Amino acid sequence: SRGSFKLSYYNEYKSYLRMSLSGKICLVTGASRGIGRGIALALGSEGATVYITGRTLDPVSTAPGSLKVTAEEIEGRGGKAIPVKCDHGVDSEVHALFDRIKKDQGKLDLLVNNALKGVSTIGKYAATPFWEAPIESWDDVIHVGLRCHYVAAIEAAKIMTPQQSGLIVNISSAGALFNFFTVLYVVGKAGVDRMAEMAGLQLKKHNVTFISLWPGLVQTEYIVSKKDTIEKAEVRGIKMDVSKGETVEFAGRAIAALLKDPNVHKKTGKTITTADLGVEYGFTDVDDKLSVAQMMIACDVNEFL
């Protein structure tokens, strides 16, 4: 029956999830904290060697997390972490990063573009008309965000195209489609989605996959610290409940599944949600919960079966 076929399809993908990522060389940008940290932890837990970048190498009192702390967590889970202090707003530092990876490893299997400088800027001007916000906010949100993703993608493609393999993932959000937060947030996220679409088409003949990934509401340190404010507001008429959000590692589980999938190239150029991938590959969050969006999708799938 159609239902039994669908179930065997899921079981087939679950066998891929049992594979180790040992030997895989990964780079996660912006991994001192937040989603980047969670992605790096999930990949490290699977045995990958993970280069992690950010501007905060050592712990500081002014912000949670650091590259060294993330690295220690990865090592504690059996992975290998290589922390590299890198300002992704400085092209020369990005070039040096990729030169180091190529020299040390001879390959790159995965790039996760996550670095974003403008989180506080987005929050600060969320209720401000764009013409009243300082023009410098463009640099905060777009320069270390959309532009630095493009620069890193170029460097990754130079390594991946000759090896005829590789996966690039841009971390995006539903803000690419809906009017969330600020004009610049929407512009930046729409840009990274279209980047993945066009670049993915160009990379397809080289067997390199480029995907844009939408997590849901994620329990980052920043979101948790702003919980009361967030839950008082509405996004497109919907009340947010931070306690029901995804953990920072859920996106990492999605990316790990993509990296293991031998047919991932079929997804190149697409924008995909973490919830969709959770249903397709059969994984849940670290607390064994489905995200709210994932539960809705699962219900639809069950009705179809």
Give the largest CA-CA distance in the chain: 60
CA distance 105 to 111: 14
Active site residue 10: no
Catalytic residue among 51, 125, 185, 281: 185
CA distance 253 to 247: 10
Secondary structure (DSSP) of the chain: -HHHHHHHHHHHHHHHHTS--TT-EEEESS-SSHHHHHHHHHHHHTT-EEEEEES--S-BTTBS--HHHHHHHHHHTT-EEEEEE--TT-HHHHHHHHHHHHHHHS---EEEE---S-HHHHHHTTTS-GGGS-THHHIIIIIIIIIHHHHHHHHHHHHHHHHT-EEEEEE--GGGTS--S-HHHHHHHHHHHHHHHHHHHHHGGGTEEEEEEE--SB--HHHHHTHHHHHHSEETTEE--GGGSBPTTHHHHHHHHHHH-TTGGGGTT-EEEHHHHHHHHT---TTSPPPHHHHHHHHHHHHH-
Tell me which residues are annotated as active site.
185
